[in-house]
Amino acid sequence: MNDFDEEISFLGDWGRYQVLIFFLLSASIIPNGLNALSIIFLAAIPEHRCLVPDSANLSEAWRNVSIPLQDGQESRCRRYRLETLSNYSALGLLPGVDVNVTGIQQEPCMDGWTYSKSVYQTTIVTEWDIVCENDWKGPLTTSLFFVGILLGSFISGQLSDSFGRKKILFMTLAIQTGFCFIQAFSTSWEMFAILFIIVGIGEISNYVTAFILGCEILGKSARIVFSTLGICIFFAIGYMMLPLFAYFIRDWRTLLLALSVPGLLLLPLWWIIPESPQWLISQGRFQEAEDIIRKAAKINRVTAPPVIFKASEMDDLTEKQKKRYTILDMVKTFNIRIISLLVIFLWCNMAIGYYGISLYTPNLNGDPFLNCFLMAVIEVPSYVISWLLLKYVARRYSMCGILLLGGAVLLFIQIVPSDLYTLSNVLVIMGKFCVTAAFSMAYVYTAELYPTVIRNTGIGVGSVSARVGSIISPYFVYLGTYNYLLPYILMGCLTVASGIMALFFPETFGKALPESLEQMQNIRG
């Protein structure tokens, strides 16, 4: 078969049909932006201290000193032994006058905790006391969501290849929406975490399938903009909506119900978005593919040729599809092995940086809702910059430069005086801007590095590496409980290392894409 784009070139690049598909498929990504980082608010940790029950029979003076001080602040996980305090209170002794409070034995929060409601009414942390000795459940919850995304990365491509892009797109959108709704009725942390895995599976499967469907339906010009700006910016729109939802809804169960609404509103798109003509052709369903193209021609008000896909060309397509390549071809030669290792390193580090910075947002100074909104807004110019760099600048130098800049600003945070909160926040936002741009560019750069026969496999390996990085990222955030600056130092070092590694990749800007393994460019150095 001749080039598919040539066969449908009579449709034009940006007709009414392409614009319609562009925006509808991009809109299907909005729920992904809402759910990808919802854990920021669902598992937010309010100010808390040990609960001192009324049954302790303490005087006001002893109740006021029942919590020991740690670094000048009330301890979150310890209290003075209540039995001892109660005895002193019953005897009429006064703390600090008759009794040295610091000499009293301490005990854990045996009656639970009391949480501040100044910012959040409820979160899963306050619901199931995910603090102190149970605080390990916080990062694990987030990691399990990313485990779901990892599982979805493995199965989404195979499912859409077997059952069709459209069916899997709406099935996974329904899974993401439905299980997000069911999560709101979780009766335990374990139930919430298991459902979160399923939401993660639907999240990435929906994203990948929408990406593939758009690339196969749209023409060359629209395809490039769709893959670099369309779905990315609509993801950012969903991300920007998240803090707005969370600002007005401070209860985690109600917030989850609200987050499931956009997905429900998008399900009727089933009757508008078509199946991929290229997938239909690969399944031998040529008449259905031709019907879709003729409908597109009618929408674009152009005349379709009498015969769009010729039978003889279909036979050629079938013959070409018989040759199969596997992941083993990515280690076939020394050159491909090294490039693949560099791709794995790069994608994993960028995911750690992107999700680490995003998840650490509640620890920034200032309003958490505003900080999250700014982190989302900065992604829009970041995607635009990445598109411009891909269009006009050499790949190696643009990737290297933007990663080095991102890593440098994250490392500079540690030398900013503690009272300059705004400057620290600006540096974090700049770091997010750079890592996001690099992450967006990596999809195109990786696709250009690998030959056609293993290009999808190469992108898949990179994507899986990113999922591994995202699973690790919550534990980088967790380190912030021990040292506020430690996550930024580690993420800054990894980002700088990634920038240096980018210089070892072959340059692909302005060069023809390799078709076979033998045509791959050699690594540098």
**Which DSSP category does 129 fall into?**
T
Smallest Cα–Cα separation from 207: which of 148, 258, 156? 156
What lies within 8 Å, CB to CB, of 60 at 6+ separation is none
Measure the CA–CA gap between 81 and 64, rounded to whole angstroms: 14
Task: For residue 446, count other CB atoms closer than 10 A to its CB.
Answer: 22
Q: What pLDDT, on a 0 to 100 scale, did the predictor assign at position 322?
A: 47
- Domains delineated in the chain: 48-115 (no CATH), 325-525 (1.20.1250.20)
Q: What pLDDT, on a 0 to 100 scale, did the predictor assign at position 375?
A: 93
Measure the CA–CA gap between 265 and 267, rounded to whole angstroms: 6
Beta bridge mates, 73: 70
The 3-state secondary structure of 5-44 reads HHHCHHHCCCCHHHHHHHHHHHHCCHHHHHHHCCHHHHCC
Q: What pLDDT, on a 0 to 100 scale, did the predictor assign at position 159?
A: 79
Low-confidence ranges of the chain (pLDDT < 70): 1-5, 309-327, 452-453, 456, 513, 515-516, 518-525
The single residue listed with the structure tokens 């990515």 is 330
**Which DSSP category does 227 fall into?**
I
Measure the CA–CA gap between 199 and 135, rounded to whole angstroms: 22
Q: What pLDDT, on a 0 to 100 scale, did the predictor assign at position 1?
A: 41
Q: What pLDDT, on a 0 to 100 scale, did the predictor assign at position 2?
A: 47
Is residue 516 within 8 Å of 451, Cβ to Cβ?
yes
